[in-house]
Amino acid sequence: MNLNIALLKGDGIGPEIVDSAVRVLEVIGEKYGHKFTFTPYDIGGCAIDKHGMPLPEETVKGCLEADSVLLGAVGGPKWDTLPGNMRPEKALLGIRAAMNLFTNLRPAKLYPALKDECPLRADIVENGFDIMIVRELTGGIYFGERGMREGKYGEEAYDTECYSRMEIERIARVAFESAKKRRGKLISIDKANVLESSRLWRKVVHEIAEEYPEVECTDMLVDNAAMQLVRNPAQFDVIVTSNMFGDILSDEASQITGSIGMLPSASLNETTKGLYEPIHGSAPDIAGQNKANPIATILSGAMMLLYSFNLAKESEAIVKAVDKVLEAGYRTADLAHGAESLGTKEITDKIIECI
């Protein structure tokens, strides 16, 4: 296959980790006979510096024309004091909206080799866990009406959570399809005891559940879910939830896998085009030092091969190579506890050796 991939390296450790993933994809291309063409575009803080805006038109165009998009991370202290709509993070929301990426898949599984990294008691994670978080990504409070106004007590700010039936239906279907291919269990997370938007969410999820009798679907309130994730993570198979609840719960889920440096994500729309990125941020404190863990980005590349290009064998080859490297005891600094560790480039070399 000939595939065009837009690269959004972004800020901080973004360029290093994307370079690692590109090297891995190139090796996969050689081995399996595919040609990947990578075209970089500016996004985030570096785009603010160069173009005066976090998401230049050219970047949006490049992403829309590419077969798929690989993103590193955006943001850093340099741009933290800019107004809301000029912040690097705004570019992420912008590209999600521009590509209509309403589905965000965030798998969180415990690697047997990393069991000791898990902050939970050994008996809690004895049997491991393997969770797929399906987060709605283009709706809810992230995109609702917001503003400033004069209220009862003077100046006030507001953001609104709003979900349409259509938005809930389409994300629910993605989640049911995912559960069908996995262990057949879906937990829909909401705050239906308080929020009107959650009550519609729950009602619509139940309606879609009728189409999937083979999937066991239950509801869970988000506060309870936050607790259950650390009490008994193995009870979760697929989770479906709103944009903001998914943001928060996916960070929690990542931490119990041992390191946020391990978790990839896929943001998808109704086409095969997607945007793939690690769930961690730009880690400006270690940028440019060859210290970052590139595994989340490399695994994001593996998700791209699977979800956008339907290259299951090639995707699996990357996942297996990462497993092997971890099993062999190689670690980046985030997982090494001060013991000897490999740099970004060196762990990438090891992964490539295993492909």
Catalytic positions are: 142, 191, 223, 247, 251
Residue pair 351/330 in contact (Cβ under 8 Å)? The answer is no
Question: Closest approach of Cβ 258 to Mn ion, in Å?
Answer: 18
Residue 157: C-alpha distances to residues 144, 146, 148, 152, 292 (Å): 13, 8, 4, 12, 37
Q: Which of 67, 247, 314, 334 binds Mn ion (CB under 5 A)?
A: 247
Question: Closest approach of Cβ 43 to ligand IPM, in Å?
Answer: 12
Residue 89 binds which entry of ligand IPM, Mn ion, none, with Cβ cut-offs from 5 to 8 Å by kind? Answer: ligand IPM
CA gap 144, 138 in Å, rounded: 10
Question: Closest approach of Cβ 251 to ligand IPM, in Å?
Answer: 7
- Candidate segments 120-128, 146-154, 196-204, 243-251, binder of Mn ion by CB under 5 A: 243-251
Question: Closest approach of Cβ 115 to ligand IPM, in Å?
Answer: 25
Residue pair 260/280 in contact (Cβ under 8 Å)? The answer is yes
Residue 26 binds which entry of ligand IPM, Mn ion, none, with Cβ cut-offs from 5 to 8 Å by kind? Answer: none
Number of residues engaging Mn ion in binding (CB under 5 A): 1
SS3 content of the chain, % helix, strand, coil (to 5): 45, 20, 30
**Measured at CB, which residue is nearest to ligand IPM?**
89
Residue pair 102/137 in contact (Cβ under 8 Å)? The answer is yes
* CB nearer to ligand IPM: pick between 74 and 187: 74
* CB nearer to Mn ion: pick between 48 and 279: 279
* CB nearer to ligand IPM: pick between 157 and 339: 157
The letter for the amino acid at 180 is: K
Taking each helix axis from N to C end, the angle separating 344-353 and 14-32, rounded to the nearest 10 degrees, works out to 10
* CB nearer to Mn ion: pick between 73 and 208: 73
* Structure-token pair, residue 27: 């090796």
Binding site for ligand IPM (CB under 6 A): 89, 92, 247, 279
CA gap 214, 176 in Å, rounded: 9
The letter for the amino acid at 325 is: V
